[in-house]
Amino acid sequence: MSLTQSNYTQTSAALPNAMVIFGAGGDLAKRKLIPALLHLCNAGLLPDSFAVLGLDRLDLDDDSFRDLMGEHIRDHVGAAFDQAVWERLIGRLHYMQIDMLDGADYERLRGRLSEIDTQRETEGNYLFYMAIPPSLFPHVTSRLGETGLLQETENDWRRVVIEKPFGQDLESAVALNHELHDNLDERQIYRIDHYLGKETVQNIMVFRFANGFIEPLWNHHHIDHVQLTVAESVGVEHRGAYYEEAGALRDMIPNHLLVLLGFIAMEPPNSFESSALRDEVNKVLDAIEPLSPEDVLRHAVRGQYGEGDMPSGEKVKAYRSSPGVDLQSRTETFAALKLTIDNWRWAGVPFYLRTGKRLAAQCTEIAIQFKKAPTVIFKNTDVEQVDPNMLVLRIQPAEGIQMSLGAKVPGPTMGVGIVNMDFCYEDYFGNKPATGYETLIYDCMNGDATLYKHADTIEKGWEIVQSVMDVWAALPPRDFPNYAAGTWGPTAAGALLKNDGRLWRRIKIPNK
Ligand SMILES: NC(=O)c1ccc[n+]([C@@H]2O[C@H](COP(=O)([O-])OP(=O)(O)OC[C@H]3O[C@@H](n4cnc5c(N)ncnc54)[C@H](OP(=O)(O)O)[C@@H]3O)[C@@H](O)[C@H]2O)c1
């Protein structure tokens, strides 16, 4: 990634490499990875010396693998599909059937990769992408290590992309990091969170640090509170069995929401180098005040959706009726937290986080509410109060920035109304087709880990939510389901802010 340029404006192709996709017949590979490679190919960002080697247990050869990917690519790329570009990419796709649990298959893999490397001149650089169940990560990396495939020389590199979830709790995350470190240096590990591939997340940093007027306001003197929302209108789809084990808190808060919080709250880094950014994010996570069991009862809310009507009019069933979900399930599909950051900049500023499934809208945003202006100059007028300014960083959909300002309502009397200054990326920079994985894959090929997660960040995220998980496990919920699909979550989520004299922002998605 280059933060001085925008996504897709890079002009140079990535370094030569062979990308080995473990789980190439799976959902992630078909829906995201191959489409992302097509977009990179279209943008001229894949090197000429490039190949993909797909691995899975499906009985396929190169041709039938290409056919399989071809069957899906149009659905996932949509109108952006370009046959000529696809033909450029497809010739570089290779396949090998493998049982990832069988050590002997890794010797075959070594031989096959060596052939591809010579044929495609990929210079011995291998990017191993783990699009497989997390339980296999330690096993696969260990077999790769034993086979010597993770061994770098002065002239080539070996990198491993790990998909979330990075553990199920603090203990398992620490164990996973240990297991990965048995065979890999931390600098070879790329833990991916595609939310961080989004342009607006990168733009948080540009917005904060390239605009001189923002930084002086970015602190407890001027900011009343911050709201982070990752709302999904979809249910668990076909991932019920996975979600039953995860739940909204584990699935979204330690990774996506806390890292967004880190970018919003961090001090200016010395540079955009990945280690400088990571250190600043980690300092924020370190400064989050731990939640005692009493705090969890007061500052954490969980919910599960029952049946309901979505804003589109669609009637949807309760979470407990989803495939793979227990009829008595106690898994939360909604979680909200109030956190505070114990440092100079943020003393006394609450950060409210919420995430859930089957909510009233599909959106990710960060809303920063400024303190109210004094109304003293309006005395003896009809103005009783002036609404505070709110700055909204929209991550999806319609990525952009919105600022609400008070303005005089035209007329003979004094009235103050709220007007919005609204900037949408698409209006200025166009809309590039993207899955969210393009920047991240390109960065990994170039050895830039800025948007990837370090072991420390993962463990700190789990430390923060562990006390919530412990209390919730000890006190199973008795009121589930406690919100209707198509709403903004349980009443207790509203009360979390109301008790502090605040309200969740009423989210309106711009028509784009
Ligand atoms: N799908 C998404 O949108 C998404 C989003 C974020 C993160 N992720 C993460 O990405 C990873 C992959 O997810 P996914 O949804 O693509 O899973 P998936 O559809 O189950 O794909 C995994 C593939 O690996 C194959 N496989 C599993 N064990 C194997 C073995 N021992 N030998 C050979 N092949 C084996 C599977 O074959 P079988 O089907 O025959 O088992 C399947 O084709 C997971 O870690 C997930 O948490 C996925």
| Cα 22 to middle of ligand 1, angstroms | 8
What are 259-308's pLDDT values in tens digits? 899 999 999 998 878 888 889 999 999 999 999 999 999 999 999 999 99
pLDDT the model gives residue 16? 96
DSSP label at residue 114: H
Highest mean pLDDT among 6-10, 180-184, 276-280, 424-428 belongs to: 180-184
Q: Whose CA is nearest to atom 19 of ligand 1?
A: 26
Q: Residue 219 burial (CB < 10 Å; 0-12/13-18/19+)?
A: middle
Q: Is the CB of 289 under 6 A from ligand 1?
A: no
pLDDT the model gives residue 433? 65
pLDDT the model gives residue 277? 86
Mutate to test the pocket of ligand 1, among 33, 56, 251 (most ligand atoms within 8 A of CB): 56
Active site residue 221: no
- Tokens in use for 289? 């005040």
pLDDT the model gives residue 200? 64
φ, ψ for residue 382, nearest 5 deg: -80, -5
C-alpha span between 166 and 250 (Å, rounded): 10
Confidence of residue 2 (pLDDT cuts 50, 70, 90): very low
Which residue of the set 194, 256, 299, 454 is catalytic? 256
Mean pLDDT of 209-216: 92
Domain range list for the chain: 17-163, 196-498
Task: Pick 182 or 423 by higher pLDDT.
Answer: 182
Closest Cα to residue 402, out of 416, 417, 386, 418? 418
Determine the distance from the C-alpha atom of residue 281 to the mean position of all C-alpha atoms in its chain, rounded to a whole number.
15
Q: Is the CB of 193 under 6 A from ligand 1?
A: no
- Tokens in use for 303? 């919910």
Confidence of residue 198 (pLDDT cuts 50, 70, 90): low
3-state helix, strand, coil in the chain (%, to 5): 40, 20, 40
Strand order in the sheet with 93-97: 93-97, 50-56, 17-22, 126-130, 158-162, 189-191
509: left (phi over 0), alpha (psi -120 to 50) or beta: beta
pLDDT the model gives residue 281? 92
The alpha-carbon radius of gyration of the chain (Å, integer) is 24
CATH tag for 196-498 (out of 3.90.1150.10, 3.30.300.160, 3.30.365.10, 3.30.360.10): 3.30.360.10
Mutate to test the pocket of ligand 1, among 28, 96, 168, 194 (most ligand atoms within 8 A of CB): 28
CATH 1.25.40.10 fits 17-163, yes or no: no
- Size of the chain, expressed as the number of residues it contains: 512
C-alpha span between 469 and 490 (Å, rounded): 18
| Cα 162 to middle of ligand 1, angstroms | 12
pLDDT the model gives residue 239? 86
Q: Judging by DSSP bridges, how do beta strands 50-56 and 93-97 pair with one another? A: parallel
Model confidence at 102: pLDDT above 70:
yes
- Tokens in use for 301? 């809310």
Inter-residue contact 251 to 165 (CB < 8 Å): yes
Q: Is the CB of 27 under 6 A from ligand 1?
A: yes
What are 8-61's pLDDT values in tens digits? 455 699 999 999 999 999 999 999 999 999 999 999 999 999 999 999 999 999
What are 444-481's pLDDT values in tens digits? 999 998 889 999 999 999 999 999 999 999 999 999 99
- Tokens in use for 86? 């696809």
